[in-house]
Chain A
Amino acid sequence: MSVINFAFLARPNIFRNFLKGNTSRIFSLNTTNYSTEEPPEVQEAPETVTREPSEKEKARDRTKVIPVETSIRYLKSAAYKETYGEYLVWEQYRRNHKGMFPPRKTRKTCIRKGMLSTGNPCPVCRDEYLVLDYRNVDLLKQFISPQSGEVISYSKTGVCQKRHQELLISVERARDFGYLTFDVPFREYDYSEYYNEKNESKK
């Protein structure tokens, strides 16, 4: 078990799942471990390319498109509850970086060529059932600050740049469609503008 990195230890419930042998819900995977499994003569033999992908490869695959409806159901399900508990989706995520200070920006993207390309994917990329869409209100709400009503910065949530852009777009769309409510700026009316012509006595 020496391949387990610190990210596992930080999330006890996921760790427990791992010990039970249930590897389907693991978010972070170790890249080095994965590459050693691959046989070196892959290029020569064409039939080894078409072999069944291993369990870990399947877990990294992100080519399957999950519909929003599934994601909306997932956020209400017991599986979601078990994975995240009472925490927000991004709350328990920790970025990996060398030194004391994290880089100003998060990584550009976690998914390259349809596969997870990192061992510590961002909170949205790591769980394939979290789909950013304007109808997925429960998910979007987790990224909006209750104090300011704005989308929380990636420096706090750790979401990768690509997902953060998607998040901003879907929040804007959700507000446009009325899925997300917000505090509308107050409009003060000048009554004299509307009633002055008829009755000269100003209100």
Chain B
Amino acid sequence: MSFGSNLRMFANKASLCCNVNKVTLELFSRCSTVAFLQYDKDPGPSFSNPDVQKLLKSMTRVQLEKVYKKRSVSDNTVEYKFMTSEQLEKQFRKAAERAEKLIQMPPIVKVKEDSQKVISRDPALTNFSNTKFVIADITYGVNSSDRKILVRQTDGTLEYAPLSIRKRINQIYFPHPGRKIRLPRMFEPEHLNRCLANFQYEFILDRACVQFDPYEKEYHEITTKVYNHINESKRFDDLRSTRHFGPMAFYFAWHQIIDDLLYDMIKQDYLKNGAELVALYYQLNGIDYDKSIHEKLETLVQPQSTIQSVLKPKASDDMHEEIKNAIGKSAEDFTADDISFEFIETFVKTKALKKVQLELALQALRETNDEKKKLYHGLKKAHGIS
């Protein structure tokens, strides 16, 4: 059993630690009885599918102001510089690239089950010690998930450490910033419910990301609880333009409860996103649909580049631009909206659970859109552009 350079052993206060784990597990099993929807099969492949990733990223609607909102962290320094406009543009481009990283979605993978893998049984070592020994390879540069961590039980069995011990030992020798060895009390059901009642969604999810690994059961339970709460309180804007919006939309689409989110998107006039959500729903549930809609929307609506939204639009004498700015939509937008309308309407008619509500919202939006369209054409005529 040679583990390279640094080999460390330490006696483990086995009985005590096991008790703590049991208590937390019991707490979780109690909270999990309330509306906990599990992924029935491995969601990993569908989530990592490039098409799905594209849809989820587009739905997130990145706003740089929200991604770079003021954070109270200890190295909160500001640097002031004089720059030429080219340098400034370069900086903006860099900032947009960094924003892409900052809204990286936490991966969705299936829950990993503990499995006992025995290396050797040595009955000669029985009662050698009354505590078990944990042996960890702490060689520099090894990935936390690949690190070798073994347990010598009191009955002489040498086996791979279970996940809970692995996590603890990894945290002791290679701590994750922000992760606690003991579970924060916040994740206990009563305190979690209080946090939810205060709508601290982003905080809970951020902390869950740091505290748990994506394959842990607790992570799945907490995130689904938060998503369900958001679905009830309809505060989707809290997560929009954060890294958690994609996984939330994925969860809703997987479990076929997208109606409230779709209603919110229609109400806020994010029709393209609505169409994307419906497409995601079809894709995850294996329903055939006309995939050409993506291309159509792509050609009509320019992908809202994050850089463009920051750089101020240059003053142009183009009348089209001016009218577009006055109304907020261009001719392409109107045709794109029509396509999305049709796509969503077929979904509402066939698959939706809250048909009446969605139909009414669609109707209302269509009316306002028609008015805008009329205004648009009127303005065009007045300016003498065909």
Q: Contact residues of A with B, CB < 8 Å?
A: 144-150, 175-178, 181-189, 191, 193-195, 198-199, 203
Contacts and interface: CB of A to CB of B under 8 A. Distances in A.
A178 B176 CA distance: 19
B194 interface: yes
A187 B207 CA distance: 10
Nearest to B144: A193
A203 B76 CA distance: 32
Interface of B: 44-45, 48, 50, 53, 71-74, 76, 101-102, 104, 106-107, 109, 143, 145, 176-178, 180, 184-186, 191-192, 194-195, 200, 203-204, 206-207, 209-210, 214-215
Nearest to B196: A178
A146 B50 CA distance: 40
Contacts of B184: 175-178
Contacts of B104: 188-189
Given A185-B210, A193-B143, A146 B72 contact: yes
A181 B107 contact: no
B177 A147 contact: no
Most buried by B among A148, A178, A188, A198: A178
Contacts of B191: 177-178
* Chain A binding surface SS class: loop
B203 A181 contact: yes
Contacts of A203: 48, 50, 53
B48 A185 contact: no
A183 B73 contact: yes
A189 to B, nearest CB: 6
Nearest to B106: A189
Most buried by B among A145, A185, A188: A185
A189 B180 CA distance: 18
Nearest to B47: A195
8 contacts: A178-B186, A182-B72, A184-B203, A184-B210, A186-B102, A189-B104, A193-B143, A203-B53
B130 to A, nearest CB: 33
